[in-house]
Chains A and B, each alone.
Chain A
Amino acid sequence: MTSKTDQYLIDKVLGGDSLAYGELVDRYQNFVFTVAFRMLRNREEAEEVAQDSFIKAFDSLPGFRGESKFSTWLYRIVYHKSLDRIKKNKRQQHLEVIEEITAQQVVEIENGLEYMIQSERHELIGNCIQKLSEEDAAIISLYYFEEQSVKEISVITGLTEDNIKIKLYRSRKRLFSLLKGYIKPEISAKNGKAI
């Protein structure tokens, strides 16, 4: 494996090879866009914010001291840029009430999702993520998809680690609660047919 490390590419960019930045863009553009999209829920706006974030990162690159991973540093930029955009839009988010989920219901949700075809499943999960608050949608994506640690998410968001843990717990419950709402009728319908 001869893939270049982020630091190697950063050094090249700082040395005047701006094309090396293209490799960093290739490496992180999907997830940077994902964070922006999950927070803003609008593709055009998310793309604008993702672009601005990459440009800001390029401008600030000489100040990047490598204390955290480049990805963490970059996600911090996109997270805060998205929050700024949300504040500018003054978008209101109405959150659903969290229902308590039992172990049995988790199994039912898992089974219910198995019945769905892949595209349906993706759409459903995407919709459920969109119903989380902007902050929670970003945190849950960073933690479960990008596998950033709680400590790294704390650096990205500027929230305390305990706060992140609470938010993760609540988001997970909210997500399952939302999934249950979609899955339950499906399961009943399937069971109904079987009986």
Chain B
Amino acid sequence: MEKQFDREEELLKKLLNEVGAEIPSAGMKDNIMRQISWKTAKIKPYKPLIPAFMWYIIGGVLLSSMGLLYSMYAEVSFNWDLGSPAFNFFQLPVLEFSKIMQYAIALVGLFFLQIPILKRFLDRQFGY
């Protein structure tokens, strides 16, 4: 009985090894690797070309220079004398801003102010 058992074992092992493994289609590995590469593909986090601190500097410079010019040449303004001779040394060109021009500048300023607000709104709407 033991002998028969061994013989059956041996024969079955021989037969199954002779039949061998089933071979999947050639594209199976490619499909697996493609799906894996999708999974591992890292989406680079959004990095603006001009960093935030630079925008603050640009904004600050722009606003202060606008404010300075406005205070100097606006129709309603205080007498500008910063008390330093260095400021009087540089004679800035006299710019005359009409009322319309001032409104236009204010509107453009408002327009630029809307961009980050709208961007944040849209990100929240369609964001991931």
Q: Which residues of A contact B36 (CB under 8 A)?
A: 18, 21, 55, 58
Residue A29 contacts which of B9, B18, B24 (CB distance < 8 angstroms)?
B24
Chain B CB within 8 A of A73 CB: no
* Contacting residues of chain B (36-77) with chain A, CB-CB under 8 angstroms: 36-37, 39-40
Q: Which of B25-33, B79-87, B109-117 contacts A (4 or more CB under 8 A)?
A: B25-33
Interface string of A90-119 (1 = CB under 8 A from B): 000000000001110011011001000010
Chain A CB within 8 A of B118 CB: no
Using A21-B33, A126-B19 as known contacts, list a sample of 20 further A-B pairs with CB atoms less than 8 Å apart, ordered by residue number in A.
A22-B29, A33-B21, A33-B24, A38-B22, A47-B24, A47-B28, A50-B24, A50-B28, A51-B35, A54-B32, A55-B39, A59-B39, A103-B4, A121-B18, A122-B18, A140-B12, A145-B19, A145-B20, A172-B8, A172-B12
A-B contact count (CB 8 A): 93
The 8 tightest CB contacts between A and B, nearest first, are A30-B21, A33-B24, A103-B4, A144-B16, A34-B21, A34-B22, A145-B16, A37-B22
* Complex contact A31–B21 (CB within 8 A): yes
Known: A18-B37, A103-B7, A121-B18. A30 touches B12 (CB 8 A): no
Residue A33 contacts which of B11, B23, B40 (CB distance < 8 angstroms)?
B23
Q: Which residues of B contact A47 (CB under 8 A)?
A: 24-25, 28
B interface list, Cβ under 8 A from A: 3-4, 7-9, 11-13, 15-25, 28-29, 31-33, 35-37, 39-40
* Complex contact A51–B21 (CB within 8 A): no
Grouping DSSP codes into helix (H, G, I), strand (E, B) and loop, the A interface class, with mixed when no group exceeds half, is helix
The distance in angstroms between the C-alpha atoms of A10 and B32, with both chains bound, is: 16
* Complex contact B15–A113 (CB within 8 A): yes
Q: Which residues of A contact B16 (CB under 8 A)?
A: 125, 140-141, 144-145
The distance in angstroms between the C-alpha atoms of A26 and B15, with both chains bound, is: 24
Q: Which residues of B contact A125 (CB under 8 A)?
A: 15-16, 18-19
The closest CB in chain B to the CB of A175 belongs to B12
* Contacting residues of chain A (126-157) with chain B, CB-CB under 8 angstroms: 126, 129, 140-141, 144-145
Chain B CB within 8 A of A25 CB: yes
Q: Which residues of A contact B15 (CB under 8 A)?
A: 113, 121, 125
Chain B CB within 8 A of A176 CB: yes
Q: Which residues of B contact A144 (CB under 8 A)?
A: 12-13, 16-17
- Rounded to whole Å, the gap between the CB of A104 and the closest CB of chain B is 9
Q: Which residues of A contact B11 (CB under 8 A)?
A: 106, 109-110
